[in-house]
Structure 1
Amino acid sequence: MSTTNLQFMLASLLGAEHASQLSDLLQIPESTLRPRSDKVSRIEIAQALNMLLFEKLLKAVPQGNDYVQDSVRAGNKIRFDHGALRTVLGISTGTLPAGEAAFTRILRPLGYHVNGVYPLQRISMTGRAYAHEDDPEEIAQFFLSELHPHQFSHAFQATVNKVLSTSQDPIDSHSARLLQQLAADKALPLTDALALLPVLVRCFDRQHALPSVAEYRILLAESAEMAWISTEGNAFNHATDRVAHVEQVADAQRALGRSIKDKIEVSRNGRVRQTAFRASMVSRPMLDDNGQLVDMQVPGSFYEFISRDRYLDETSQTSKLDLTFDSGNAQGIFKMTASAEAAPNPANA
């Protein structure tokens, strides 16, 4: 019998064995391990969502899954630092709210607040980090970025509008009311939390129809990031493992023959260091110029590593973990989904 709300929710949604396997992968914050009760706090719901999204990312990124399984066999657990996703601002997105609004309506009721804004001028995006108010150092952050289509050509904007206008909002009226209740009470009845979680997981996916090959290439010509959004939507672009020494991890993964980034991205203050596996290639069906479906190989998601140093906060005179991000680091890491041109799957060409 599950002894905590978190374990009970995961077991109810996944089955007991599956939930136990997922829990074995991750270092679970003590703040989320609360005794069973009829009410579930926002931090417990946030942790359950993060774990479900982490597992979803692993299913999409074989190299990341291989690394995680290696770590578990070695007796280590993954410390989930943050998940990243992409949105588009100022364009028709069907019934789905545009830009970060599609996710702030989720993150704020869960207890997240903006912990930093990062201009990403080279790729015409703005990134925002969301940290959890109740346990910012241990609960995984969200790095939510918005692309600004108006900074591109008219043809590009028209194509973005056409592709994203087919978006459907996965949050129904009942789920919206539960989010409002969660925001007001900072908790939900357990049965309501179990009803809400699968809906929240579905939000981290593609909500629009796939582009045609021609549309994809128009987007790719000006923005690898928008081309990625057109096929992957709001899925986790990457999930990140917080490690003690990212340089050692990179060397070890390289020695195993895994396609990890050559360069370590280092923040301007030197306290945050990041690298990543190259994005997995995935197959997506698109209509070609003759109206025939072809399977296109495009970049999917990837798995990232980060090291964060502690520092002395001069205001409080306490030791804090550097939870910030860095615009230069982010733009360097984002290139992992621009590492290959889209091409027809040879088996279907």
Structure 2
Amino acid sequence: MGLRQVANGTATEAGVIDSISRTMAKAVDGISALAARFSSDQNFCMSLVKAVELIANSGGRVVVSGVGKSGHIGRKIAATMASTGTSAYFVHPTEASHGDLGMITSDDLLILLSWSGETAELANMLTYAKRFNVPVISVTSNAESLLARNSAVAIALPKVVEACPHGLAPTTSAMLQLAVGDALAIALLERRGFSAEDFKTFHPGGKLGSQLLLVSELAHSGEAIPLLPIGTAMSDAVIHMSTKGFGVLGIVDGNGLLAGVITDGDLRRHMSQNLLLETVETVMSHNPRVVKSTILASAAMEFMQAQKVTVLFLVDAQGAPTGILHIHDLLRAGVA
């Protein structure tokens, strides 16, 4: 079915679909041009590499600035860097000219965004950077601009056609700036080995925070864990299992390691007149499904769904039980 067939109601609908299609095509063309320059232009490729190294080796913070749409993109770049382990913040160039330059120290580093490279509002920041030897990374489309020529690293983006039919509203160009900012942030993240656990430190709230919880933070521990030793009579095991309320019982050996589990299903399979006279090792399932206490809650949820179980024991490196986790604990915490 073609776009015209989708918009078979009115000419207006068809026009809207055509407009959206052209904008998306311009976006694809822009990113393709950026990727092509990175793979074919050694100078452009190395400018990004040098920018990553300069930021990684900086002893201070990354200060991002820009005007208009470049400023909005700059805010997002600063936020992405800050949330992935690179200390960064945004300063508006007008505010910088009225006192906020004092926030920038000689240990810091500037990332200045300007498509033309001739944005007048950035002049005072450039002057300040020169005076106090603050390194500048510029992101612009004009390698011969004032901004690029006064930068330690100039990232010269390919000139692209804006989606705006008048060529005025920054659209495709803003997307390229954002793509470069994301590329720098992720390269820095991977360079320093920023882990999911590190990520959690900066994202404690919301859905993302729940996905980054460790199972040990949600599991029940201590006396709440249903555990009995090998040799225990099933008459005592059934009572203990019912009292703890997890529908499962862990069986530990003489070394305190988890040797097996008894579930409601095991009880049904071994149901007989003599069940309560038997010992736990004759009923338990060997090789129980367990997880380490250091894994993410989201990973535990995936494991439960794959194994079709609702309860997991947490064990340490030796195999000793340290906690028990029910799927309801994950759902209450928002892990899904």
What interval of TM-score do these two structures reach, taking the shorter chain for normalisation?
A: under 0.3
Greater fraction of residues in helix = 2
> Rg bigger for which structure?
2
Q: Which has the higher strand share?
A: 1
- Of structures 1 and 2, the one scoring higher in RCO (CA 8 A, sep 6+) is 1
TM-score when normalising by structure 2: 0.20
